[in-house]
Structure 1
Amino acid sequence: MTTHTTHGTSTLYWVFFAVLIGMTIWMFMQQSRNQKNRQKLQNSLQKGDQVVTVGGLIGTVASIDDKVVVLKIADDVKIKVLKTGIGGKYQDA
């Protein structure tokens, strides 16, 4: 018994390969878009903004420098967070 690849099976492999490449490209584009949006958010932070960290802490921006944001999370309680640790702006539901 001999085995050989038929035209239909070969075409199926090429379609699968093309879909795999397409999905990979789409994932890289999504990741790039998300990174640009996060960078834009971090650059737009201002004193008084309510934010949520990637860890889930909610606070108000007390001060900002190049890499660190000081968040007020309670009366007389402030913490330092890296800008990269800010997940987004927070709005009460």
Structure 2
Amino acid sequence: MASSLAAGFILLTGAPSGNSTSSLLGLALPFILILGIFYLLIYRPQKKREREHQELIDNLERGDQIVTIGGIHGTIREIDDDSVLAQVDSKGVKLRIDKQAIASVGGNE
């Protein structure tokens, strides 16, 4: 079993020879593949989520129903550069919430 694994590894990476280019490629190829997989599975989806969240924040309007990352539900009453004033209940309680803390936006009232 161990000899067949060793033979498979030698076939995959190439037999030891005087050609340093092929041995360098054999060593670098796994790292390049790992970086490619990292990019496809982690970096790209994260950038897409960040882009979508920024678009959500840029399109906020007065009257939108919002939910914060802490689970607070409210209705936007006023929008500033980096925060919103949201009414959180029917009695008129208002909270100032950072725009980056908004997790989702519902429909208008």
Describe the superposition over 1:29-58 as per-residue Cα deviations: whole angstroms up to 9, x where unpaired. 111111110000001000000011011111
**1:89 match:** 105
**1:52 match:** 67
More helix by share: 2
Structure possessing the higher radius of gyration over alpha carbons: 2
> TM-score of the superposition, structure 2-length normalised?
0.68
Q: Does 1:63 align with 2:78?
A: yes
Instruction: Report % sequence identity.
Output: 26
Question: What amino acid sits opposite 2:82 in the alignment?
Answer: K
> TM-score of the superposition, structure 1-length normalised?
0.78
What SS does the aligned partner of 2:100 have?
helix
The two structures, once aligned, show a CA RMSD in angstroms of 2.7
Q: CA deviation at 1:66?
A: 0.5
What SS does the aligned partner of 2:71 have?
coil
Contact 1:51–1:60 (CA under 8 A) maintained in structure 2: yes
Distance in 1 (CA, whole Å) between partners of 2:72 and 2:29 is 46
How many residue pairs were aligned? 88
Which portions of structure 1, spanning 4 or more consecutive aligned residues, are displaced by more than 6 angstroms?
none
Q: Is there any run of 5+ residues in structure 2 with no aligned partner, and where?
A: 1-5, 15-26
**Worse-matched range after superposition: 37-46 or 14-23:** 14-23
What SS does the aligned partner of 2:76 have?
strand
Q: CA deviation at 1:20?
A: 2.4
